[in-house]
Amino acid sequence: MPQTITINPKYEPLRDFLTAIPTVFDHEGSEIYHLRNVIKVIKAPDGTLINVKRYHVPHGINRIVYSSGLRKPKGQRAFSYAPLLLAKGIVTPEPIALIEERNALGFLGYSYFVSQQMDWGHTYYDFGNAKEGEYEEAAAALGRYAADMHSKDVLHKDFTPGNVLWKEDADGYHLAIVDINRMHFGPVAMKEGLLNLRKFWGPKAFTEIVVRTYADCRHYDAAKALAIVMPARAKFWTSYRKRHEVPFRLEL
């Protein structure tokens, strides 16, 4: 299937390798995620570990919408958003390439977003069943991180535990975001920003710390902030558990 490729100039020496990714994707690399989309880690010829996310072929009306340009395909958005985030000091994997396959009629097939593999090793899923004394600093770090991101006019529309990476060193917690194809760039209002915090795993007290820290950083009243987030959190998880198994001890 004909393909187009856009490469970060820094990685131009890897053009031949990157161009071949659709051909070798199914039988090379280590798979780390497989649902509708598939994510693999592959080693480039120069030893660089790269992360390749293959987006599923859109179906129905979405195929027309994405193929015609009425809406940017997910891979295009991820590739274009990454430099915007990095320029604002928001850590996300460095973009390497975007590959899109289209058939003879121009309809979008698979697309591939290629980025650096960040081997931080942790996501906020880690705190799903954390006990008192195990999550407080991480929760506060998340609150500060979200406040900083929102103050920089950035809202991650899929701000969930699997999309926030973390590592800890002598300087404390460091956070990064992934799965960045759904972002809002512009002012983030109080309620909008607070509701962005409602989907995280962990004890009820975990989210309360996140919210209090966030409110302090953005100079909001903590009681008012909690009154917005905690009922929304309870509503979200009550609805979620009707359709899915909740993989942590849920406190409403």
Cα–Cα distances in angstroms (integers) from residue 21 to residues 47, 94, 149, in the given order: 16, 18, 33
Q: Decide if 148 is inside a domain.
A: yes
Asked if 162 contacts 123 with a C-beta cutoff of 8 angstroms, the reply is yes
Integer Cα distance of 184 and 62 in angstroms: 20
- The string of DSSP letters for 19-32 reads HTHHHHGGGSSEEE
| Tally of domains within the chain | 2
What phi-psi label fits residue 30: left (phi over 0), alpha (psi between -120 and 50 degrees) or beta?
Answer: beta
Integer Cα distance of 170 and 89 in angstroms: 20
pLDDT value, residue 54: 98
Q: Are residue 93 and residue 182 in the same domain, yes or no? A: no
Phi, psi of 221 (to 5 degrees): -75, 125
User: Could you tell me what percent of the chain has a pLDDT over 70?
Assistant: 100
The residue length of the chain stands at 252
Last residue of a domain, one of 76, 97, 116: 116
Q: Decide if 50 is inside a domain.
A: yes
pLDDT value, residue 148: 99
pLDDT value, residue 65: 87
Q: Decide if 250 is inside a domain.
A: no
Per-residue pLDDT tens for 89-124? 999 999 999 999 999 888 999 999 999 999 898 999
Cα–Cα distances in angstroms (integers) from residue 215 to residues 190, 191, 248, in the given order: 9, 11, 26
184 token code pair:
């809002």
85 token code pair:
């985030």
pLDDT value, residue 118: 94
Q: Are residue 107 and residue 7 in the same domain, yes or no? A: yes
Last residue of a domain, one of 116, 151, 169: 116
Q: How confident is the model at residue 43 (pLDDT cuts 50, 70, 90)?
A: very high
Q: Decide if 140 is inside a domain.
A: yes
- 3-class SS of residue 2: coil
Per-residue pLDDT tens for 167-221? 999 999 999 999 999 999 999 999 999 999 999 999 999 999 999 999 999 999 9
Q: Decide if 246 is inside a domain.
A: no
Q: What is the DSSP letter of 37?
A: S
CATH of the domain at 40: 3.30.200
Provide the residue range defining the domain that includes 52. Answer: 3-116
Q: Are residue 39 and residue 103 in the same domain, yes or no? A: yes
Other C-beta atoms closer than 10 Å to the C-beta of 24 total 13
Q: What is the pTM of this model?
A: 0.94
Q: Decide if 245 is inside a domain.
A: no
Mean pLDDT of the chain: 96
The arrangement of strands across the sheet holding 108-116 comes to 3-7, 95-102, 108-116, 49-55, 38-43, 30-34
Q: Are residue 130 and residue 110 in the same domain, yes or no? A: no
Q: Are residue 8 and residue 100 in the same domain, yes or no? A: yes
CATH of the domain at 150: 1.10.510
Q: Are residue 94 and residue 178 in the same domain, yes or no? A: no
Q: Are residue 100 and residue 144 in the same domain, yes or no? A: no
Cα–Cα distances in angstroms (integers) from residue 150 to residues 18, 25, 77, 246, in the given order: 34, 36, 19, 28
pLDDT value, residue 106: 85
Per-residue pLDDT tens for 219-235? 999 999 999 999 999 99
Q: How many CA atoms lie within 13 A of 237 on its CB side?
A: 22
